[in-house]
Chain A
Amino acid sequence: MKRTCSSLLFAVLALGVSSCTIVENAPPDQQAIPADASGDDARTAIRIKETFDSQLIPFVRENALPISELRAALEGGLVPTGEKHGHVGSGEGAAWNFPISGTGKVVAANLDSRARSMEIDTDDDGAADVTVQLGPVIKGSALRDVAPFYIYDDFRDQIEFAKLSRAINGKISEIIAVPEEEVVGKTATFVGAIALKSATEAFVVTAISVEFAQ
């Protein structure tokens, strides 16, 4: 009798438990946000509010490596350079991400596309050696992945993780001002983040600031 009762109870529990979704308790200030996908946007907004200005921007500025130094360091290999100066993205095959700064002449610019960019010559050899993304459409997730404080495990899934990157990239067009007139020929100074999967890969910078001088 007892065994029948307990196995019945067990069966009921097992059936009940398997149809339940386990929802983790969020910290008090997030109590109202649902833990599933519908809460992604709210959580992303909080992350941006709490980290973009106070942590991410200062982190990139304070750790930005001058481009010539980064190039020199890369001659010793991508991984040692990454371990010393950068942060690796989550998972296998992910790029190493570096905060970077540089100055040079704008050799070419594509300002018609939604993914505006300019080619800059920082080593004075007449040829462009770095591309700077100006937005509004930003490719890649270098600005998210350069920071050690955004950890994939803290996110519900890759979509929520990607939404953070999108939100970060979306802020770029708010903080970067591209002049109306022709930029080719001007000197530009930039600070931002790049992602490298190999030591010889072309540098494409996601900028957090760009300044132009005659």
Chain B
Amino acid sequence: MKLNRRLLLTVFAAGLAGFGTSFAANADTIAIITPSHDNPFFKAEADGAAAKAVELGYETLVLVHDDDANKQSELFDSAIAAGVKAIILDNAGADASVAAIQKAKDAGIPSFLIDREITATGVAVSQIVSNNYQGAQLGAEEFVKLMGEKGPYAELIGKESDTNAGVRSQGYHDVIDQYPDMELVAAQTANWSQTEAYGVMESMLQAHPEIMGVISGNDTMAMGAWAALEAAGRTDVIVVGFDGSNDVRDSILAGGVKATVLQPAYAQAQLAVVQADQFLKSGSTGVDEKQLMDCVLINGDNASNLETFALK
């Protein structure tokens, strides 16, 4: 008798659990796939997208691809198998990602890209990207101004596989190369990494002690470079970054790094979710696929208004 009751309870419990699971699966899920959250920029994207998704009544599936296109492809397979309704993606390679997005599209799942473009249109529904080139031009103009339009400088370049590394570098040179008295003495990648940038900056200083400025592809590298400069007693060097992180904001306010360029990451991610929701409900976002979001220069004048990749 006891056994039967236990059995009955077990079956009942299992039945409830089963009911619970299927009930949860009925809530639409949006997958949010970005590079590693170690970089606060990507964490802000994921947080922004998740917050908006929950606000609009979705469940979320938050994944990181670590800038590995193969891992990204596997995550897409998982998302497709899990039956998500839409994918918000900050992709792992402009060429390499097209196939994964197409795969999802073929499975009836629309993708909404943020931060980085892909080299095809008609595959993703939206590509909301920062105008990195425009942002880089802003940063470079400030850099040139602070350098007095002359002097030896170094460049820290981002991760080669990230299309934005090249876009920003080109944007920087688009401006700086118009000033013949600005002299590039060293340019090297630090792969978006703070620790790597520290080491690279140290070596650059040893080889080129005349360096008067450093323009960096992103904020984490700028922070690493600044730390190396401080350690070497070279706080006279002008450093400019890119992204608009809280760390660099604090450095600007303390007189360290001089400027950065804000990518409105939080707003971008939220906009992507809004467009996904619109698309799922009406079959269209109402706007063009490719959407640029202007970047904003952050320096001592407005740094105090900056919080987690948004200007108050």
Report A116-164 residues with CB < 8 Å from chain B CB.
Answer: 136-137, 139, 141, 152-153, 156-159, 161-162
Report how far A13 CA is from B282 CA in the complex, Å: 34
On whether A92 and B119 interact (CB within 8 A), knowing A139-B141, A158-B167, the answer reads: no
Contact: A159 with B293, CB < 8 Å? Answer: no
CB-CB under 8 A from B104, the residues of chain A are none
Contact: A92 with B134, CB < 8 Å? Answer: no
CB-CB under 8 A from A113, the residues of chain B are 149
Contact: A18 with B99, CB < 8 Å? Answer: yes
B203 within 8 A of A: no
A47 within 8 A of B: no
Q: How far is the CB of A26 from chain B (nearest CB, A)?
A: 15
Other-chain residue from B94, B134, B267, B293 in contact with A162 (beta carbon distance below 8 A): B134
CB closest residue in chain A, given B123: A22
CB-CB under 8 A from B175, the residues of chain A are 137
Q: How far is the CB of A53 from chain B (nearest CB, A)?
A: 23
Interface residues contributed by chain B, number (CB under 8 Å): 38
Contact: A162 with B133, CB < 8 Å? Answer: yes
A94 within 8 A of B: yes
B292 within 8 A of A: yes
Report A1-60 residues with CB < 8 Å from chain B CB.
Answer: 18, 21-22, 36
CB-CB under 8 A from B180, the residues of chain A are 114
Q: Which residues of B contact A (CB under 8 A)?
A: 94-95, 99, 117, 119-121, 128-129, 131-134, 137, 141, 149, 163, 166-167, 170-171, 174-175, 178-180, 264, 267-268, 271, 288-294, 296
Contact: A152 with B290, CB < 8 Å? Answer: yes
Contact: A153 with B294, CB < 8 Å? Answer: no
Top 6 A-B pairs, shortest CB-CB distance: A91-B292, A162-B133, A93-B294, A92-B293, A137-B178, A18-B99
Contact: A158 with B131, CB < 8 Å? Answer: yes
CB-CB under 8 A from A159, the residues of chain B are 133, 166-167, 170
Contact: B264 with A21, CB < 8 Å? Answer: no
A82 within 8 A of B: no
Contact: A114 with B149, CB < 8 Å? Answer: yes
Interface of A is mostly: loop
Report how far A153 CA is from B120 CA in the complex, Å: 11
A102 within 8 A of B: no
Contact: A158 with B178, CB < 8 Å? Answer: no
A198 within 8 A of B: no
Q: Which residues of A contact B (CB under 8 A)?
A: 18, 21-22, 36, 89-95, 113-115, 136-137, 139, 141, 152-153, 156-159, 161-162, 166
Report how far A161 CA is from B127 CA in the complex, Å: 15
CB-CB under 8 A from A18, the residues of chain B are 99
Contact: A156 with B119, CB < 8 Å? Answer: yes
Report how far A158 CA is from B167 CA in the complex, Å: 8
Give me 24 A-to-B residue pairs in the complex whose CB atoms sit less than 8 angstroms apart, sorted by A's number: A21-B95, A90-B292, A92-B264, A92-B267, A92-B271, A92-B291, A93-B294, A94-B292, A113-B149, A114-B149, A114-B179, A136-B178, A137-B178, A141-B134, A152-B288, A153-B289, A156-B119, A157-B117, A158-B131, A158-B133, A158-B292, A159-B167, A162-B134, A162-B174
Contact: A152 with B292, CB < 8 Å? Answer: yes
